[in-house]
Structure 1
């Protein structure tokens, strides 16, 4: 009963603010405020407020919320571990298969020791190709602005 009264009072106050806002010729804002003001009355009329009030004072409902929170926590933990570990089991299996396929042709070539991967080392270091083009663009911009 109190929840319904509070919701009705909140809606009435909101509609008062709507009247002031509309008086100031801010009709779009007044319409938006009216929409927000009517939500509490709509919740009371649908019975959701009564359900929430009954749920708020029920120990079994709170225990259910605790169980739902624990399930959500477990779900988020597994997602974090999965992302840190490199994806799902299927994705890790596909990555291992791709790695084996990439290593298999190289295994047939004669081994030259640890220096057989210079391409991988070169790919890891950034190249400085095209850096002259970047400076010419910057020079053109500076000349355009008279600097």
Structure 2
């Protein structure tokens, strides 16, 4: 009841100010003031003011706001601890994705263009003579990657 009275008084005062402004030949400003002053009256007539005042004076509503604040505080605390630990959600997601990719197809990331790739070559047997070509292949791997890229670019005429 008190809130409705205050809103009605504010509307009446605003309309009075709008009338004085219109008397001074500032019609655009007077219209804007009248529009703002009719908002509280409209809120009273639609029942919004009664609803808001009912919420504002209920202890259960304030307890609910307290619980929401506590949940927000817990959420932000866990985020801060997560940031200090050094691992972010994106890093953990990338690590899980890498584990899945390795488990499904371990050689999936190797290039598959012709003789330059090492995926199609047989692995040499353990022995002294076979160890030297393996080292040579590992040293030549970056050059092979670039030759694959060059082949793709030439294929497309770039």
- Alignment TM-score, normalising by the size of structure 1: 0.52
Over 3 Å counting, the alpha-carbon distance change for 1:88 and 1:36 in structure 2 is farther
- Aligned partner of 1:30 in structure 2 is 30
Shift of residue 82, structure 1, vs aligned partner: 6.8
Distance across 2 between alignment mates of 1:6 and 1:93: 56
Q: What CA RMSD, in Å, does the superposition of the two structures yield over aligned residues?
A: 3.3
Shift of residue 23, structure 1, vs aligned partner: 2.1
Aligned length, in residue pairs: 100
Over 3 Å counting, the alpha-carbon distance change for 1:109 and 1:70 in structure 2 is farther
- Aligned partner of 1:41 in structure 2 is 41
- Aligned partner of 1:92 in structure 2 is 91
Of the structure 1 ranges 10-19 and 55-64, higher mean CA displacement relative to structure 2 is found in 55-64
- Alignment TM-score, normalising by the size of structure 2: 0.49
Larger Rg computed on CA atoms? 2
Q: Secondary structure at the match of 2:25?
A: coil
- Aligned partner of 1:132 in structure 2 is none
- Aligned partner of 1:50 in structure 2 is 50
Shift of residue 36, structure 1, vs aligned partner: 1.5
